[in-house]
Amino acid sequence: MGQADYYAEGDYNAVCSRCGSKFKMSMLRKHWQGMMRCPTCWEPRQPQDFVRATPDVQTPPWVQPWPAPTYNALCTPQGTSAVPGEAEPGCAVPGYLSPAYIDSFFTP
């Protein structure tokens, strides 16, 4: 006969989930993991389990997209000349021949 082998009205025998000893159910306490434990095996839950950190918001308060690329038209000497295949739209001057072409055409 063990220490829990006696009659108690409305109480029954139970086993501690940790040590395996037999106790009356009224002596056991529910552990934070949901199991029933005897008074010597019962332990409170670690307070660090309930610590909550402050949220670390890493997004900036506002953002905007990069501006669209802007291209500045650059007229080259060959592009301003009226040479077919070399003229650039918006830069070509009708009847104009760049000095770069004149020197290359008229070299002896």
- What is the tens place of the pLDDT at every residue in 10-52? 999 999 999 999 999 999 999 999 999 999 999 999 999 999 9
Say how many Å lie between the first and final Cα of the chain, rounded: 129
pTM confidence score: 0.47
For the chain, give the number of residues: 108
**pLDDT recorded at residue 102:** 66
How many other CB atoms are there within 10 angstroms of residue 4's CB atom?
Answer: 17
In the numeric block, which tokens belong to residue 102? 């004149």
Domains of the chain, residue spans: 1-44, 74-108
What mean pLDDT do residues 3-16 have?
88
Print the SS3 string covering the chain.
Answer: CCCCCCCCCCCCEEECCCCCCEEEHHHCEECCCCCEECCCCCCCCCHHHHCCCCCCCCCCCCCCCCCCCCCCCCCCHHHHCCCCCCCCCCCCCCCCCCHHHHHHHCCC
**pLDDT recorded at residue 104:** 56
**pLDDT recorded at residue 44:** 93
**pLDDT recorded at residue 46:** 93
**pLDDT recorded at residue 86:** 78
- What is the tens place of the pLDDT at every residue in 41-98? 999 999 999 999 998 888 888 999 988 887 766 787 777 877 787 788 888 888 887 7
